[in-house]
Amino acid sequence: MSLNPGDSLTSHNFGLQIDGVMVEYLAEVSGLTLEQDVIKYPQNNGATGKNEIALLPGTQKDGQCTVVRGMTQSASFTQWINDSINGRMATARKNASIIMMDFEDNPVKRYNLRNAWCSKIDTSTVKAGEASALTETVTIVFEELVIE
């Protein structure tokens, strides 16, 4: 790895793997969140007899994130979107990873999305005479997020 102690990753180099195969380098990722329930457990303190509240970890919640990609990119990512939108869940549910890389393209951090599928796609505005890249914004839902 090319990071020295104290260095931090930069936000410009990341991609998406589906079932272990890099399918897309992305323009943007947002909303990648890991959350779990908190269980409040009231109990009496044996030494003082006072009521205390203990907080315990509960069930991890499912989640979603949004990715932005160039419109003419990966055919396998497009197929994943189509399988999801058309309800072909046997092929749509995939294990995906958003991978953060250092400036030498070495993977440094992974956000593994278990049983992920695409729930929404939104295309950028097209306008006659406009000179800008066309993109697709895709919402990916997942059952579990594991950070490596």
Paired tokens of 122: 């939104």
Fold classified for 14-147: Pnp Oxidase; Chain A (2.30.110)
Residues 71, 50: Cα–Cα separation, whole Å: 61
Residues of the chain predicted below pLDDT 70: 1-11, 72-73
Residues 103, 110: Cα–Cα separation, whole Å: 16
pLDDT at position 116 is 97
- Please check whether residue 15 is in contact with residue 106, taking contact to mean a CB–CB distance below 8 angstroms: no
The pLDDT tens digits of the residues spanning 85-107 come to 999 999 999 999 999 888 778 88
